[in-house]
Chain A
Amino acid sequence: MDLGGINLVTLVASLMVASVPIMLAAIGELVVEKSGVLNLGVEGMMVMGAICGFIAAVATGSPVLGFVGGALGGAALAAIFALLTLGFLANQVATGLALTLFGLGLSSLLGQGYNGIKPPPTTALFGPLGEIPVIGPILLGHDWVVYVSILVVALVWWVLKSTRAGLIIRAVGESHDAAHALGYKVARIRLLCILFGGAMAGMGGAYVSLVRVPQWVDGITAGAGWIALAIVVFASWKPWRVLLGAYLFGGISVLQLRLQAAGSAIPVEYLSMAPYLITILVLVIMSSGRGRSALNAPAALGQNFHASR
């Protein structure tokens, strides 16, 4: 299973792990954007989830509670965003950017004294089954969060596509005035979506600080939140494409390091650039000639709603 000196099995296994934080954050953001809200504070919510999850895991000794703590931390920051944009009708773009800066600072403050501590380990779910050749490392050798993240993608896809709740969320995101006229509580629905997005970003952040880099250092997410935002656009707001996008982005970052370790002659700059180039390409192809609707962007994305209008 070697290709150019790279073991494909370990490559696939490690790209699945590397993609978890951006996948969770991106699927959360997808739901937020589907409800018509653009929250650019993903990076801030992720880093808050990273520190809250870390503190919870260290304090309780349970990695599972750590992820719960991470989700709560991300949701708490998202609640501030909801208050400002839904309550005070603040500009969503500016609020989201401010949220990132605030999250980075606050997490650094909360993290004082947590440098150099090791969190309780998150172990493989199926234990020795992960030793089976080929399918073991790829399908059975992961920790539970990897499986949960894929389940969340499936769940979001099902809810948005086949349930009444999903229809309402999409209605609010396409035309909040029409949804309001039909009697749906636009602000309340958006609040729930924003909290869900925050919780997912927080869990993604907690995965970085508890599993991928099991430790706390300031700014540990190092830009993963921005990649998550790019993935949502890349995925053209479709859940399964988020999975694909996360594997692509995560896979290329893992692959380029392995290519180097294998002594490949491909310049790493091209590989690092590739996911972003593909995002631009997708945008160009999808927007060519057929307008915004072909892009599948929610029509009311980024617009504030007030019932008086």
Chain B
Amino acid sequence: MLRRTLLATAALGLSLGLTTGAFAAGMDKVKACFVYVGPIGDGGWTFQHHQGALDVQKAYGDKVEIAWQESVPEGADAERVLTQMALGGCNIIFTTSFGYMDATNAVAAKFPNVMFEHATGFKREHPNVSTYNARFYEGRAVQGTIAGRMTKSNKIGYIGSFPIPEVIMGINSYYLHAKKVNPDVELTVVWAYTWFDPAKEADSAKALIDAGVDVIASHTDSTAPLAEAAKTNGAVIGFGQASDMAEYKPSPRVSSIIDNWGPYYVKRVGALLDGTYAQADAWEGIAGGEVLIGEITDAVPAEVKAEAEAMRDAIAAGTYHPFTGPINKQDGSPWLAEGQTAPDGDLLGMAFYVEGIQGDIPK
């Protein structure tokens, strides 16, 4: 036991010494590591992160070594994996799910010279922890517009994973923009309590369809909700989530939100290589190219398509913010005044539905 501790300490000291020396003046070679919550083959969230990792490899070739681990559970296991990666010589570790937040900060405290980048979180307790996120709610605004125009039953659905600000933001944006073009629209939310469980995601979609919903947006990682919608022969449509999910074109997949992490990963690893790396809190959206809107297919009428694309372009140009007042909270209390746009802090801690959505957010 003693010997093992000794070895670990020695390895720690070694990696500390190496990185400290190299950090100030840039580095010759960076080992970039990625922790994934699902399998790369999920066709969605993790797949896109891995594409970003491959972009890093492509951009820097021999100067970068990438490593990754798939299907790491959120919780105590994550801490073990992160510690192993840090001991294994990783210079920068990207933790790509909200649930790794506490584990990332805990391990970061022990390895001050390893850089940690946590996706979609808000805790930066140590100077070596950065966070990065994408403004997915901008994409949800485009989807909401399409949903409001396309629904025939006036019932639209949303499959949530966990009740965290990230997801609630998406639900609110989706609903607000559907409501804007179709005042009669009703939103049903189903919480799957999983990021990745294809059978459960399919069941969630089935439950929504049986309840009369005909446009489904999902916030889970696999293509299962689209596969379920495909069984209805075009009566129900949905959207690609995280990845383009082009195999379900032209219907049920009528558009998609594509997470494009490559540019950010390339920038951060590049900064580590040339010594300009600094702690950051990055939150880019459609304008920055982190959120792409997948092709809107011909299953959507031309004028709806044009309206959705105009929305996308206005957001990209910065002339429109998806959360622009007047917006009230679900209980009727005012949130944003006329013309006021939502401050980022409100969005990142969002724990309420906007006025008009039925049901409660589970605690």
Which residues of A are in contact with B by a Cβ distance under 8 Å? 5, 7, 10, 14, 18, 21, 108, 111-112, 115-118, 208, 212-215, 217-224, 253-254, 257-258, 260-263, 265, 267-269, 272
Binary per-residue interface labels of chain B (36-72) against chain A in the complex, 1 for a CB within 8 Å, 0 otherwise: 0011111100000000000000000000000000110
Tell me, in angstroms, the Cα distance from A258 to B359 when the chains sit together.
13
Binary per-residue interface labels of chain B (192-216) against chain A in the complex, 1 for a CB within 8 Å, 0 otherwise: 1110111111111011101101000
Q: Is the CB of A212 within 8 A of B43?
A: no
A268 touching B41 in the complex, CB below 8 Å, given contacts A212-B202, A220-B198? no
A219 touching B38 in the complex, CB below 8 Å, given contacts A208-B198, A213-B224? yes
Residues on A with beta carbons closer than 8 Å to the beta carbon of B40? 218
A258 touching B207 in the complex, CB below 8 Å, given contacts A215-B224, A219-B38? yes
9 intermolecular pairs with C-beta atoms under 8 Å apart: A18-B199, A18-B203, A108-B39, A116-B247, A213-B224, A219-B38, A257-B192, A257-B206, A257-B207
Residues on B with beta carbons closer than 8 Å to the beta carbon of A269? 362
B191: Cβ under 8 A from any A Cβ: yes
Q: Which of B192, B198, B204, B230 contacts A217 (CB 8 A)?
A: B198
Q: Within the complex, what minimum Cβ distance (angstroms) separates A298 from chain B?
A: 30
Residues on B with beta carbons closer than 8 Å to the beta carbon of A5? 211
- Give the A-B contact count at a CB cut-off of 8 A: 112
Tell me, in angstroms, the Cα distance from A215 to B43 when the chains sit together.
11
- Seed contacts A214-B230, A253-B203, A257-B203; 4 additional CB < 8 Å A-B pairs: A115-B43, A214-B227, A218-B70, A219-B39
Q: Which of B71, B189, B200, B223 contacts A215 (CB 8 A)?
A: B223
By beta carbon, the residue of chain B nearest A111 is B41
Residue from B191, B200, B210 having most chain A Cβ neighbours under 10 A = B210
Tell me, in angstroms, the Cα distance from A188 to B223 when the chains sit together.
43
Q: Which of A112, A224, A261 contacts B199 (CB 8 A)?
A: A224
Q: Within the complex, what minimum Cβ distance (angstroms) separates A218 from chain B?
A: 3
Q: Within the complex, what minimum Cβ distance (angstroms) separates B141 from chain A?
A: 24
Q: Is the CB of B211 within 8 A of A258?
A: yes
Residues on B with beta carbons closer than 8 Å to the beta carbon of A112? 41
Q: Which 3 A-B pairs have the closest CB atoms?
A: A218-B39, A218-B41, A116-B247
Residues on B with beta carbons closer than 8 Å to the beta carbon of A217? 39, 41-43, 198, 222-224
B188: Cβ under 8 A from any A Cβ: yes
Tell me, in angstroms, the Cα distance from A7 to B211 when the chains sit together.
8
Q: Is the CB of B41 within 8 A of A257?
A: no
Tell me, in angstroms, the Cα distance from A261 to B204 when the chains sit together.
9
B279: Cβ under 8 A from any A Cβ: no
B340: Cβ under 8 A from any A Cβ: no
By beta carbon, the residue of chain B nearest A267 is B362
A117 touching B200 in the complex, CB below 8 Å, given contacts A108-B41, A217-B39, A261-B190? no
Q: Within the complex, what minimum Cβ distance (angstroms) separates A134 from chain B?
A: 15
Q: Is the CB of B203 within 8 A of A261?
A: no
B153: Cβ under 8 A from any A Cβ: no
Tell me, in angstroms, the Cα distance from A257 to B188 when the chains sit together.
11
Residues on A with beta carbons closer than 8 Å to the beta carbon of B42? 217-218
Q: Is the CB of B200 within 8 A of A14?
A: no
Tell me, in angstroms, the Cα distance from A258 to B210 when the chains sit together.
9
Q: Within the complex, what minimum Cβ distance (angstroms) separates B308 from chain A?
A: 24
Q: Is the CB of B193 within 8 A of A272?
A: yes
Tell me, in angstroms, the Cα distance from A251 to B354 when the chains sit together.
32
Q: Is the CB of B199 within 8 A of A220?
A: yes
B358: Cβ under 8 A from any A Cβ: yes
Q: Within the complex, what minimum Cβ distance (angstroms) separates B217 from chain A?
A: 14
Q: Is the CB of A14 within 8 A of B210?
A: yes
A213 touching B199 in the complex, CB below 8 Å, given contacts A108-B39, A219-B71, A258-B207? yes
